[in-house]
Structure 1
Amino acid sequence: MKYEMIHTCIRVMDLKKSELFYQQAFGFEIVRRMELPDHKCTLSWLRSPVGTFELELTWNHDQKEPYTMGNGYSHLAVGVKDLLISHKRHEAMGLKPKPLKCLTDGKPTFYFLADPDGYLVEVLEN
């Protein structure tokens, strides 16, 4: 039996702000949204223009305090062809990307960027 990764979910404080971040920073598109008034929440699924894996943003309407990520959350990851151009673009957008890094003594291969709720996104060079 084979399983396909479908989506991952993160909880957000401001749905519009988070949707805009993923649209502007990575070109994600909203593919569907579900209002669940009985559960006091809204779900929004975003997808990269390439691939089928989705990011589900869950906005719980009555959540007043920011979510605690604890020490178990690590990061999401996206791939890009030109890491340096991507890093400069995110800097120009005022998104404050972390410095370029590599795991060896070679050229940089990744950096991290935080979304409006503090979730880290690793940007990797394909």
Structure 2
Amino acid sequence: MRLLHTMLRVGNLEESLKFYCDLLGMKLLRQKDYPGGEFTLAFVGYGDESENTVLELTYNWGVEKYDFGNAYGHIAIGVDDIYTTCEEIKKLGGKVVREPGPMKHGSTVIAFVEDPNGYKVELIQTDTQNHAVKQETEPQMINQ
């Protein structure tokens, strides 16, 4: 078995594609309209779906906003230089909601950015060999 994708419902597909592709550097892998169901699916990611887990952005035509439950946490992305990445995201108009720094009760350097729909994306500093630094989790980070 292999994790294929995570799906997020989005209120504005173009704004979401701009955020994930232009600000976070993902590529639009495929997109298809489903007129009978009145929705569009767009798959984005850092590599081909045959070898990488990707993100499915689902736009239900005419739905501009969703209510968040309290069970969903965030998406996590490893980055080589978290400080430079956050500065670039800000320069491009992105919203950094938690500046880079060590997580509470741990040493892993993290930051949070927010997509146009309010979803949180955690950025995690990776080491020089591009392997994730030892990650320590903290459930209450969703409120950071």
- Structure 1, residues 78-99: CA drift from partner, whole Å, max 9, x if none? 1111111111111222312122
User: Corresponding residue for 2:85?
Assistant: 86
Do the aligned partners of residues 35 and 88 (structure 1) sit closer, same or farther apart at CA in structure 2, a change above 3 Å counting? same
Alpha-carbon deviation of 1:101?
2.9
Which consecutive unaligned segments of at least 5 residues does structure 2 have? 127-144
SS of the equivalent of 1:100 reads: strand
Aligned pair count?
122
Superposition TM-score, scaled by structure 1 size: 0.88
Please identify runs of 4+ aligned residues in structure 1 that moved more than 2 A: 103-106
User: Corresponding residue for 2:75?
Assistant: 76
Say if 2:85 is the partner of 1:117: no
Identity among equivalent positions (%) equals: 30
User: Corresponding residue for 2:60?
Assistant: 60
Alpha-carbon deviation of 1:49?
4.2
Which consecutive unaligned segments of at least 5 residues does structure 1 have? none
Alpha-carbon deviation of 1:125?
0.7
SS of the equivalent of 2:29 reads: strand
User: Corresponding residue for 2:41?
Assistant: 43
Alpha-carbon deviation of 1:105?
6.6
Contact 1:112 1:120 in 2 (8 A): yes
Superposition TM-score, scaled by structure 2 size: 0.78
SS of the equivalent of 2:85 reads: helix
Contact 1:26 1:48 in 2 (8 A): no
User: Corresponding residue for 2:15?
Assistant: 17
Separation in 2, partners of 1:47, 1:63: 24
User: Could you say what the CA RMSD is over the residues aligned between the two structures, in angstroms?
Assistant: 1.7
